[in-house]
Structure 1
């Protein structure tokens, strides 16, 4: 089989798959899948909320985020082994995982572009830390949100996952209709621009170990045009992923036999990695990903575009 034929076959399979699991190596489906083993996943909202929204709208946005978690929770209650638990609001603006420290699965909005606030000479650009240093959006402007996941590179076990929403480039809304006319003239329009629940339901798929699929009816389809709310509803393929990967009453399922049995991510036997995932608004280069290694620590980014 030629490389071109193999690539076309791979794309065809991914395009038709009802769900695609995230892997340690995003380009190699023979590597370990990513999954949680904890029975309860506690998540936290950043107390700042969306800086572009007023107090009342912030509460609507928080409610939409909770509704996204509840949509997945209903599936887990029916056939899965994982529970979501909301922790307290946190005065925290940094994402990522710090070994041997207290970590949180944080949900936050970024309302400034890093290129507008971080000097071009700052070392944060080389270190890829400008987002945390300046509390800004450091990804592609067309990317709606990113989910940053930290996991063990050998076992695929997830230890931390954070979601950033791009309020620097998108107007987030919470109503159900009508779609907003373009261009959007208000920061808080009474119409559907970039729907919070639509976005978060997709991002939470990444958080639990789902990758993008080119099946357009899937919540994990990597495009979300302005006015879309269909991803509020989780499709049968993604539901099947939960039932198969996190079977009720049984252990979470890897793709391969895990190579580790250490008790915590602080154990020296662990080789940590990070991935980030999300969705975008346009076609073409419609998903964003990167994979890097920092000693035993790596990371992956996935972006959903409009």
Structure 2
């Protein structure tokens, strides 16, 4: 498992990637194989309740969809997020025993949050450990510790579309970027909405992985073999794995995309929000 951190400026800067390569692909930390959707598409369901913080459910769902659509609007990429509708499913993760029952889910966890309390959202992707082929991606919003909004986020409010756009990048296979202007950059100020709009670095990463009219650079791509040997550019540092997983999943692994923020600790009597 691996975590991706979105931080407030100045916090834990030492954790940021030390690379001039800007965009990066998500990869298995052990094998180095990059993750990707083999058919360059993913159907996404949103839980029917969406967020308790937004009175208009349609407004909430539209904010999530806008985050996905930001990636769909890139002309040089053939990747497509498809909105599959709402669902009453609440289970997150991949069930190997009931393959056809799995869906890519976006859900706001309002009653219990079992992850880090400082995490705004968490994306869990399931993939073939040999090929890197993605089979499932689920996005959880932390509705227990954070208050969400669909417009003009003020103090103590987190923008749904901004968060969804960043996490959608993890869902399709991108890691954090070292470009501070990128949607996939690992820092964000409170009330951030800048990540709603993709930067050129995000576009470059998306179009490298899912080019129009081109081959998806998966585990059989010669370019990745060169990268594995240190001969390629800065496009993710992915390695081709040994073996062919196309005959079935020889093993599943999880990759976690974690979006964090530090919450202000209230001083006694100031009426502020406590950690």
TM over 0.5: yes
Report the alpha carbon displacement of residue 261 of structure 1 after superposing the two structures with TM: 4.6
Q: Does the CA contact (< 8 Å) of 1:222 and 1:278 recur in 2?
A: no
Matched residue count = 227
Whether 1:180 aligns to 2:154 is yes
CA contact (8 A) 2:45 2:83 kept: yes
Report the Cα distance in structure 1 between the residues aligned to 2:91 and 2:195, rounded to whole angstroms.
Answer: 27
Question: What's the CA shift string for 1:262-283, capped at 9, x where partnerless?
Answer: 25xxx3x521111110311249
Does 2:22 match 1:18? yes
Residue equivalent to 2:132: 156
Correspondence for 1:218: 182
Equivalent residue number for residue 204 of structure 2:
240
Per-residue Cα deviation, 1:227-261 (whole angstroms, up to 9, x for no partner): 11000011111111111111112231123445315
RMSD (CA atoms):
2.1
Which secondary structure state, in structure 1, belongs to the residue aligned with residue 85 of structure 2?
coil
Contact 2:150–2:160 (CA<8 Å) still a contact in 1? yes
Q: CA deviation at 1:88?
A: 2.5
TM-score, with structure 2 as normaliser: 0.76
Provide TM-score, normalisation by structure 1: 0.69
Q: Matches of 2:172 and 2:137 in 1, distance apart?
A: 9
- Name the residue aligned to 1:98: 95
- Correspondence for 1:72: 71
Match in the other structure for 1:123: none
Q: Distance in 1 between matches of 2:258 and 2:40?
A: 24
Aligned with 1:95: secondary structure? coil
SS of match in other structure, 2:58: helix
Aligned to 1:31: 32
Go from structure 1 to structure 2 and tell me whether the alpha carbon gap of 1:245 and 1:166 turns closer, same or farther (over 3 Å shift): same
1:220 aligned counterpart, secondary structure = coil
**C-alpha separation in 2, matches of 1:216 and 1:84:** 25
| 1:147–1:164 CA contact under 8 A, matched in 2 | yes
- More displaced, 150-159 or 217-226? 217-226
Q: In structure 2, what is the Cα distance between the partners aligned to 1:225 and 1:170?
A: 15
Greater mean alpha carbon deviation, residues 197-206 or residues 253-262? 253-262
Structure 1's unaligned 5+ residue stretches are 1-7, 113-135, 185-192, 284-306
Whether 1:145 and 2:144 are equivalent positions in the alignment is no
Question: Which of structures 1 and 2 has the larger relative contact order (alpha carbons within 8 angstroms, sep 6+)?
Answer: 2
1:111 is matched with 110
Deviations 1:53-111, CA, capped at 9 Å, x for gaps: 32x2x221111111111110011xx1223222111211111110011422100000011
- 2:32–2:240 Cα contact (<8 Å) kept: no
Alpha-carbon separation, structure 1, partners of 2:54 and 2:18: 41
**Structure 2, gaps ≥5 residues long:** 1-13, 219-223, 225-238, 264-275
Cα distance in structure 2, aligned partners of 1:72 and 1:214: 19
Q: Secondary structure at the match of 1:278?
A: strand
CA distance in 1, matches of 2:40, 2:192: 32
The residue number in structure 1 matching 2:86 is 89
2:246 is matched with: 262
Work out the CA distance in 2 between the residues paired with 1:261 and 1:152.
7
Q: Alpha-carbon deviation of 1:211?
A: 1.0
